[in-house]
Structure 1
């Protein structure tokens, strides 16, 4: 696909998308943070915006740039990833002629989207971007992404003798199954918008059902 074809998927903001997409660092083969991820987060954000309101132009810029600086999940710099992306996003937007206030609104949404950064979103757009990104981490897509990332990092499916971590600490960098109680099951508690919370509940039920089936086959 060429840039115009990709940008067209972000209509009616395809012109803006065509400016921003080349600024995103190469995904280095990371299929959990690729174009399909951006499109899913954008679709989530549009659904939430339809219910909650918010500036779609700000939302699009924040969605496309929310991972514009790539940091691997197992990197010691992981907690700084959203801050690095926010700084880069602001630089990009200022270079494109955005006002400082607009660029800062986008940068805040980018910085606050991250679970590991633990930054409270203060604007409606930041709340929507955080919810939209977290929705992509749960449900059927979330299950697929969890095991994809685990395989990419060389993790095992589960700890053979204690898969539910009843007598050991959770180690989600070593075992994919541990990532569900360690993080994914906790995401539902932190949704910022009513629309996001409703969508999260449905996806959470699907994800819990999968884990129950998984454990039932051991």
Structure 2
């Protein structure tokens, strides 16, 4: 399956973000304007514990390392097991024409890291449960578009690592998930306006 990297990046962020919203840790940015989101965030923070989540690419927004943050990073892209070198196919572009396309040579495995920091034992357990119940040891998810809608295609993933970097002051846990065998750049177009053969005349001889 083909995905833009942004659709994969956004998937790990948004599936977990939705769970944080469901559990009352965040307002829902998918349904609020930026100003209303910030207003609700401030209101929630004054009366309860808020857990912020930062996706791939939000480096500057993360600020200093602090408690009650979930941070997602894309940490590796490596060739996978499935190849499609020189595989070609035809895609219909009109009622009478097709274009000839070539698949990328290889699929990739893309590794994501989900880490969180908290200073509370109860929150540590809740966050670990949220991550495990959202992604589990393996599974499949749809990619996520900029408008928070899901892609038609879905990708397979599995957990490949876990680290506990906690010290005496903070709980810091890190999960790593590998997205398996996805195309991350599009097919190339080799030829366009290939016409459809409409009439075939065949001479037959009865013997």
Fold in common (TM above 0.5): no
Of structures 1 and 2, the one with the larger relative CO (CA 8 A, separation 6+) is 2
TM-score interval (norm. to shorter): under 0.3
Q: TM-score, normalized by length of structure 2? A: 0.28
More strand by share: 2
Larger Rg: 2
Q: TM-score, normalized by length of structure 1? A: 0.27
